[in-house]
Structure 1
Amino acid sequence: MPSYRVWALPGLGEVLPGDNIAKLIAATSPGLADGDVLLVTSKIVSKAEGRIVEATDREAAIDAETVRVVARRGPLRIVENRQGLVMAAAGVDASNTPVGTVLLLPADPDASARAIREGLRDELGVDVGVIVTDTFGRPWRTGLTDVAIGAAGVRVLDDLRGGTDAYGNPLGSTVVATADELAAAGDLVKGKANGLPVAVVRGLAHVVAEDAEGARSMVRGAADDMFRLGTSEAVREAVTQRRTVREFTDEPVDGGAVRRAVAAAVTAPAPHHTTPWRFVLLESPTSRVRLLDAMREAWIADLRRDGKSEESIAKRVRRGDVLRNAPYLAVPCLVMDGSHTYGDERRDAAEREMFVVAAGAGVQNFLVALAGERLGSAWVSSTMFCREVVRDVLSLPASWDPMGAVAIGHAAAAPKARPPREGESFIEVR
């Protein structure tokens, strides 16, 4: 039967800046053999590499190691650190280090693992795998466990995709995190307070390989990360990162994603507990072409009445190509159901303005939600200039006022960076 053995190495002693981890391990007479895997706690690697820094304020050290805040609750921060790891406090540790100092993670854990592996080969003539471990919490699970943050000579992932299970069912998504499983096994014998920072696994020589990738390959890329941000951070990023997208790929748009965006849109505030939003979704090419052709004809007629030249008309009409080139269109409409009539021109005008503001809030919710669905969009005001045409082509009630159109699709290219805008520039305090 398949089996393995795991044990902690005693006698390592205190690790100081400048120490050679491989030499310290070799000095314990560990009895290592080819195919063994060493699990080395990152804390001793950090100490040996001089990653101890003076810091009267741990928060400042966390700031310095943080690339991106993922989530925040009170003083607790989950962040992406310089090593690409998403973890609490960027891995900055104030335990087991002199007062007034903190311990940072190794600058390059994979390089640290390679150095230990090569050092053991030089010292003991053995071919072993090395994993540098650290303690992580995990989403949806209480408790901590050790995971691999650096690796050398170990197949960190076991990709089973393309194979079959014991019943012949195809495996389409199974990739086993072997390095993390080994790290957790080692932690069972090292413990958190036993002074045993190194463990050995024997019996799994098949995971040791000269050309194996490092643990950095286990970090999920942003494009595949469905849980990249915490709630408030996700809302803030969706708002700030939303861009007007004018060029789209041919990739189809998921109608379900658009409907989820509509569900977000209709949570906007509205006067008198009304629901002044309606969204007409143009999902077929035929409906889109019919609408856009009719709008173009109306627009050209208006421009000719204004005395515009044919060259000027052609230039202006080309601006509508963003709608024509999009694989999906939505036409948000304002309805005044539930509005009050005062019989006073000033108050009736203000009443309509309230509803228009509510419609705008709904459209903004819609655009932000589309960004959250990883869909690009562009709000174009054109339907507001030919409402009768739009109502006629789309068979809408006379009480529905089209409030522009939204082009929706997958962005053909990454949007350009938006010039920075400081909120303070738009604030007046009284």
Structure 2
Amino acid sequence: MTGEGQPAGDAPSFAVWALPGIPEVRAGDDVARLVADAASGAGLPGLADGDVVIVTSKIVSKAEGRLRQADDRQAAIDEETVRVVARRGQARIVESRQGFIMAAAGVDASNTPVGTVLLLPEDPDASAERIRRGLRELLGVEVGVVVTDTFGRPWREGQTDVAIGAAGIEVVDDLRGGTDPYGNPLGVTVTALADELAGAGDLVKGKTAGLPVAVLRGLGNRVGETGQTARDLIRDAAGDMFRLGTSEAVREAVTLRRTVREFTDEPVDPAAVRRAVAAAVTAPAPHHTTPWRFVLLESAGARKRLLDVMRDAWVADLRRDGKSEESIARRVRRGEVLRAAPYLVVPCLVAEGAHAYPDERRAAAEREMFVVAMGAGVQNLLVALAGEGLGSAWVSSTMFCRAAVRAELGLPDDWDPMGAVAVGYAAGRPKARPARDVEAFVEVR
């Protein structure tokens, strides 16, 4: 037991001790009864109102029959995984079916018979509530219950126990809106109390001592009908800045890169666009050149003047093509995606460093290399914008009136506008992209 020699008076303190005497748990066992029997053992203080019972999830899983025959642990991990967050070799950090971001979906092959694995409890919060109710019925005490499992943490070596289930206990202490002793406002302080309790319990339970349950006393003010559960500790996707591993983030950003044609009027952060441009100029290019230039139209006046010039040039082309005024008006309306965007980028190709060839074939191939490099740069830009949470649409309009665009923007003659990119926040979720069979695009030799 810890807590001896604690400060006297009103100084905050608590005591925590492990419960010896928990037998090997099997499917169908009543965890509450096992805890109650152990807590009543000789030399132990028993359970009292306001105590917190901290239970390793492993014995909960065993009692709930979550032991599986599984010679292939990877297959069991697959079944318990919602999505892969990061992968390195066989190691996987995943989102489990319970919503936790953790290694191997919590599938455990230790301390189980050979050829079996142990899955996490189906609903750890419900498990904690059943243990809490059981202890109330058996001992007449009002306690909090925390069900724990061992997690690693990003950027930190080592593992620690955290709460995956909780009942009858404050799970978080939200201090936002208050002030510190100096009067400074607290804007982001939310303490994960249940995780702190889990860690305190693990100090006396240990990982190999065969002590799966601990009792913590002295924080009765945190125990009661709080309405909070461990699920309250799971950060939702919208607030998760570190949702993916590196390679997964790249694939996700490529997938998220969709053409957006309707934008909100929320302004675009110019710094976010510059970060996307920084990614764009890492694209491959011929002869160690840097053929990309990006004209950023950040003012509404600059955007309107350019788009008016482009529209007039387009209308003139359509009239020369013999299109009717009705047809012209319809086409112009379809092209208004650029006008609706709160930010425009005009990518330009500058073929400095291109080799001069006397014959037309090689000269054309040289030009194509630079155009390909331009496409790679723009793709980098679009993907990086998606990573910033911005929608985009790459429209080819400027390529049909390059001289007019150069004149309006005051660009050198050797800058070739390669379309325009509308940038902004999508007004709605894009429609689901139909699945494409990779083999339809592949030839193997």
What range describes the TM-score normalised by the shorter chain of this pair? over 0.9
Counterpart check, 1:178 vs 2:193: yes
Q: 1:181-220 residue pairs with structure 2 within 5 A?
A: 181-220=196-235
Report if aligned partners of 1:156, 1:212 keep a CA contact under 8 Å in 2.
no
Q: 1:99-110 residue pairs with structure 2 within 5 A?
A: 99-110=114-125
Q: 1:411-430 residue pairs with structure 2 within 5 A?
A: 411-430=426-445
3-state DSSP class of the match of 1:341?
coil
Residue 318 of structure 1 is aligned with which of 310, 333, 336?
333
User: Residues 105-128 of structure 1, C-alpha deviation per residue, up to 9 Å, x if partnerless?
Assistant: 001111111111111111111111
**Equivalent residue letter for 1:307:** G
TM-score norm. by structure 2 comes to 0.95
Q: Which residue in 2 is equivalent to 1:8?
A: 18
Q: 1:236-315 residue pairs with structure 2 within 5 A?
A: 236-315=251-330
Partners of 1:336 and 1:25 in 2: how far apart?
76
Q: How many angstroms does 1:268 deviate by?
A: 0.6
Counterpart check, 1:227 vs 2:237: no
**Equivalent residue letter for 1:82:** R
**Equivalent residue letter for 2:430:** P
Partners of 1:122 and 1:242 in 2: how far apart?
56
Q: How many angstroms does 1:100 deviate by?
A: 0.6
Counterpart check, 1:398 vs 2:408: no
**Equivalent residue letter for 1:335:** V
Q: How many angstroms does 1:389 deviate by?
A: 1.1
TM-score norm. by structure 1 comes to 0.99
Partners of 1:201 and 1:311 in 2: how far apart?
78
**Equivalent residue letter for 1:424:** E
**Equivalent residue letter for 2:195:** D
Q: How many angstroms does 1:29 deviate by?
A: 3.6
Q: How many angstroms does 1:305 deviate by?
A: 1.3
Q: Which residue in 2 is equivalent to 1:90?
A: 105
Partners of 1:423 and 1:206 in 2: how far apart?
58
Q: 1:342-421 residue pairs with structure 2 within 5 A?
A: 342-421=357-436
3-state DSSP class of the match of 2:134?
helix
Partners of 1:321 and 1:121 in 2: how far apart?
67
Counterpart check, 1:20 vs 2:24: no
Counterpart check, 1:337 vs 2:352: yes
User: Residues 270-312 of structure 1, C-alpha deviation per residue, up to 9 Å, x if partnerless?
Assistant: 0011001000011111111111111111111111111111111
Report if aligned partners of 2:142, 2:224 keep a CA contact under 8 Å in 1.
no
Q: Which residue in 1 is equivalent to 2:182?
A: 167
Q: How many angstroms does 1:11 deviate by?
A: 0.8
Partners of 1:292 and 1:411 in 2: how far apart?
20
**Equivalent residue letter for 2:71:** T
Partners of 1:309 and 1:36 in 2: how far apart?
82
**Equivalent residue letter for 1:196:** L
Tell me which stretches of 4 or more aligned residues in structure 1 moved more than 3 Å: none
Q: How many angstroms does 1:212 deviate by?
A: 2.5
Q: 1:47-58 residue pairs with structure 2 within 5 A?
A: 47-58=62-73
List gaps (5 residues or longer) in structure 2: 1-10, 41-45
The count of residues paired between Structure 1 and Structure 2 equals 430
Q: How many angstroms does 1:161 deviate by?
A: 0.5
3-state DSSP class of the match of 1:15?
coil
Q: How many angstroms does 1:241 deviate by?
A: 2.3
Taking only the aligned residue pairs, the percentage that are identical comes to: 77
Report if aligned partners of 1:159, 1:174 keep a CA contact under 8 Å in 2.
yes
Report if aligned partners of 1:190, 1:196 keep a CA contact under 8 Å in 2.
yes
Q: Which residue in 1 is equivalent to 2:156?
A: 141
3-state DSSP class of the match of 1:415?
coil
